[in-house]
Amino acid sequence: MEQWAILIARSSEELLKKHIRSSFMEKEKIKNLYLQLIEKINSNYIFINEPMKKHTSFKIGGNADIFIKVQNANDLKEVLSIIKTQKIPFFVIGNGSNILVKDGGIRGIVIKIDFNKIEINKKDEIYEIKVGAGVKLMTLAQRLLKQEISGFEFASGIPGTIGGAIRMNAGAYGGEMKDIVMSTTYMDEDGNIFKINNNEHEFEYRNSIFSKKRWIILETNFKLYKGIQKQIKEKMEEYANKRRENQPLNFPSAGSIFKRGEGYITAKLIDECGLKGYNLGDAEVSTMHAGFIINKGCATAKEVLQLIDYIKEKVYEKFKIEIQLEIQIIGE
């Protein structure tokens, strides 16, 4: 993706029109914002008119006006200061594994948290693991396996980052983030840094205080235990095999589209409506797992959203139950 320095050097209005779309943010405003940003952070981490399909597991979505990979808390604070001064809308992502970006893209700034620190400290038989919000769950699971640390196996196959997992209290196979979190450090919109303990997370099923606030997770401390490598590996392989057997991992998706309800399994309701394999364009209800909508090639967000509405309608017609989304829909 060509950056503003190149575009300005070529000084071509046609190039400007090509690389900066007409949107909520005018061309000059994006240009000026870019110039402000590169005074504070490395320009290699700033992208103009960036396709969001490159940054979501669904492989769907229009372009973000400005996309920034933030490497540390100081850079994040600088970005938030500019955002506040210029009154620019912003959205924060991790691995993009639980979102659907609309076809019109995202106005303003998308911040990708790229904090990848992992620190392991042992106290007796207890391990305190300090992990940056950008670390992928799979990456951490493999690191813990090598060091024979147990308690994180349930999360080893979840395709997200630590920040996203804390935000939504991610879980699988009987475990959830709430079971292992000691504390989380976050930054508010004004650049102030705070730390909260487990209770202050207000963990619920697929929810936490971070789902309700505009706070940005920086790092989390986990409490884990000494294990036996062979047993840890066996458990991780067992969970991986279950995922391969029951989930359409060979197609782009955002995981479970709908939340599990109280007293019912949403995917089972969708299956009983005969919707497995139902499609709109390249958006299809997985034939393997009715809770997944997959992208069979070139699905658009519009097709996925229409399919979501159709599923909701059919489930309500048959069971009089209003099923709720688990994924987040953003953009325009």
With a CB cutoff of 8 Å and minimum separation 6, the contacts of 74 are none
Q: Are strands 328-330 and 99-101 parallel, antiparallel or unpaired?
A: parallel
What count of Cα atoms within 13 Å lies in the side-chain half-sphere of residue 197?
Answer: 1
Q: Could you confirm whether 260 is annotated as catalytic? A: no
Which is catalytic among the residues 78, 176, 206, 286? 206
| 256 annotated active-site | yes
Please choose, from the candidates 152, 178, 317, the residue with its C-alpha nearest in 3D space to the C-alpha of residue 236.
152
Contact 255, 56 (CB under 8 A): no
Nearest to 329 by CA among 265, 268, 263, 254: 254
CB atoms under 10 Å from CB of 243, counted, come to 17
Q: Could you identify the residue written with the tokens 């991610």?
A: 170
Looking at 208, 256, 286, 303, which residue is catalytic? 256
In the three-class reduction of DSSP (H, G, I as helix; E, B as strand; rest coil), residue 30 is classed as helix
How far apart are the C-alpha atoms of 16 and 26, rounded to whole Å? Answer: 11
Active site residues: 206, 256, 326
